Amino acid sequence: MIEILDDWCKGCEICVKRCPVEALEISEIMNKKGVRVPRLKEDNKCHQCRLCELLCPDFAITVTKEEKEEEKECKLIIGGVCAD
Ligand code: SF4
Ligand code: SF4
């Protein structure tokens, strides 16, 4: 998941230009500074590499890695098998 703090964005487009899978685009949404902010494209290709988060000079992006089903911690094991 990607969270963008729209009003922190200055529209430098580093995130859009550096995303290795071109997952981001400049949207029509304008922030308080009058800057059009980035959003994930509809065909979400983001693989949560966090490069955009690390490169954003204004700390406007936070990437939260989504756990895959098999990576989730099992909370109930019955007979050696995960049952939750
Ligand atoms: S986390 Fe990686 S793949 Fe996803 S939008 Fe940012 S740079 Fe692109
Ligand atoms: S890198 Fe940060 S400041 Fe630049 S366009 Fe992306 S979100 Fe906005």
Q: What is the CATH number of the domain that holds 23?
A: 3.30.70.20
In this prediction, residue 70 carries a pLDDT of: 64
DSSP type of residue 11: -
**To test the ligand 2 pocket, which listed residue (14, 52, 53, 55) has its Cβ within 8 A of the most ligand atoms?**
14
| Residue 41 Cα distances to 62, 63, 71, 75, angstroms | 16, 15, 26, 35
Task: Round to the nearest angstrom and report the end-to-end CA distance of the chain.
Answer: 24
In this prediction, residue 71 carries a pLDDT of: 66
Asked if residue 24 has its Cβ within 6 Å of ligand 2, the reply is no
In this prediction, residue 4 carries a pLDDT of: 97
Range of the domain at 53: 2-82
**pTM strictly above 0.85:** no
Tally of structural domains, the chain = 1
Low-confidence ranges of the chain (pLDDT < 70): 68-72
Cα Dmax for the chain: 59
Looking from the CA of residue 22, the nearest atom of ligand 1 is 8
